Amino acid sequence: MDPRAADLLRRFVGELGGEVEVSVRRGSGRSERWETSTEIRETVTGFDPEQGVVELELRDGQTVRLHFDETQLVHLLDGAAADGTEAWGEPLSDEEAAARFLTVHLGESLATQEGHPSGWWEYEDGSFMPAPPWEAFARRRQRG
C-alpha cells in the first residue's frame, strides 16, 4: 500500500469512534427543556492499513467491514486540501481533508443504502458500496 494511502487510513480511523453530542427538546412552553447526552457513533474493532481494511461495530451492534483500494485513496488525496478548506472554512492538509471526506461518505452511505449481509463495503468514487467480499475482490482484480 502506498504510504500516503496508509497514512490516510490511519487518520480516517482516528476520526472514527468519536463521541457525538445529541440534544433532544422535551416538553413545550414553560416546561420546555433540552436534554443532552453523548453517544459513541461506532467502535473500530479491526484495522489493517496494508490490506486497506477497517472493521467497525456500529451503535446498533452491526459489524461493518470497509475495504479501500490504494488507487482510490491516492486519488482522494489529490487536491483534498483545497476542497476541504472550502467545505470546512479552515486550512486543512490533504490528509486531514480526505479523512473528513471519508467520514462524510461513510455516514451518507450507511444512511442511504442497505448493507450486504456480509457487512462488506467497498470504497469507490466517493461512496461506500455494499458488496459481498468475493465481488469486491473480483472488481479489484479487474481494475488490475
The pLDDT-based confidence of 43 (bands split at 50, 70, 90) is: confident
Rounded to two decimals, what is the model's pTM? 0.77
* Extended strands (E) in 16-119: 19-26, 33-40, 42-48, 53-58, 63-67
Query: Can you give the residue ranges of every domain in the chain?
Result: 3-143
pLDDT value at position 131?
Answer: 80
Q: For 80-129, how does the pLDDT look when each residue is reduced to its tens digit (9 = 90+)?
A: 999 999 999 999 999 999 999 999 999 899 888 888 888 899 999 899 99
61 vs 106, higher pLDDT: 106
